[in-house]
Chains A and B, each alone.
Chain A
Amino acid sequence: MDWHLLGLSFATVFLSELGDKSQIAAIALCGSSKSVRGVFLGTCAALLLASFLGVLLGGSLSQFLPERWVKIVAAIGFAVMAVRLLWGSQDEKTEQI
């Protein structure tokens, strides 16, 4: 085990992810959602899989997935969650409170 490389990758990813949109999304989702465990596990699984694919495929990832379309789909996903929170049905809101 190369501890130097381990520490380096940990530090770079930790610092670049601190305050990044995925962490801010985790903060927002956790505060508003009913299941903290679901948010935490979902965030962890997504981040681990994303970095796993990054390690596995490396540079060829962009050949499989057009970055723009992935971003647009992600943007739509966040917008849908935001709309559901802001203008969600009254029944859901009373349920959540």
Chain B
Amino acid sequence: MLTVESTPTASDITTPLTPLTDSPEADVAKGIKGLQEDSPQSFWQRWQVEIKVFTSTFLTIFLAELGDKTQVTTLLMSAESQSPWTVFAGAGAALVLTSLLGVWVGCWMAKRVSAKILERSAGIILLLISVLLVWDVVQG
């Protein structure tokens, strides 16, 4: 009885493994791909992408936040009372935490939604933010 039960499980394990170790050529191709990814040129390219993302994110969010009056006033109000560095420490911790939460939610959604839908919805959201900013300017 035991041997009969054990044989199908053994075959279940071996059958999915066979397509993975397809051929030696596939392994060589994978190895070459891995080498290409680690080459200094692609490393530099990846670095460039990261710098590009960093600067575009930094500039737009920085300018949007500078225009945001509420934050400045709350900071100012509490800073006037006592030491500004304590206020900055508290505000800075809060800001890092909120952006961490934002990035976390974004990544969580990126795993669930297809890239095309995500790109389109992200574009619409950013467009809405810019419209909101223009609306603020028109109103103010």
Contacts and interface: CB of A to CB of B under 8 A. Distances in A.
Q: Do A and B come from one complex?
A: yes
Interface of A: 1-2, 5-14, 16-18, 20-56, 58-59, 61-62, 65, 67-68, 70-79, 81-86, 93, 96-97
A78 B126 contact: yes
B122 A32 contact: yes
Contact of A55 (B66, B88, B96): B88
Interface of B: 49-72, 74-76, 78-103, 105-107, 109-110, 113, 115-116, 118-127, 129-134, 136-137, 140
Given A45-B54, A96-B115, 11 more contacts: A5-B81, A9-B88, A9-B90, A27-B102, A30-B107, A38-B57, A52-B88, A67-B140, A72-B134, A85-B126, A86-B123
Nearest to A72: B137
B133 A30 contact: no
A84 B36 CA distance: 28
Contact of A78 (B60, B79, B109, B121): B60
Contacts of B126: 25, 28-29, 78-79, 81-82, 85
A61 B71 CA distance: 12
A49 B95 CA distance: 11
Contacts of B125: 24-25, 27-28, 82
A31 B119 CA distance: 8
Contact of B102 (A24, A41, A48, A55): A24
Most chain-A Cβ atoms within 10 A of its Cβ — which of B53, B56, B127?
A: B53
Contact of A26 (B62, B88, B106): B106
Contacts of A9: 74-75, 78, 86-91, 94
Contact of A23 (B102, B109, B137): B102
Tell me which of B71, B82, B134 has the highest count of chain A C-beta atoms within 10 A of its own C-beta. B71
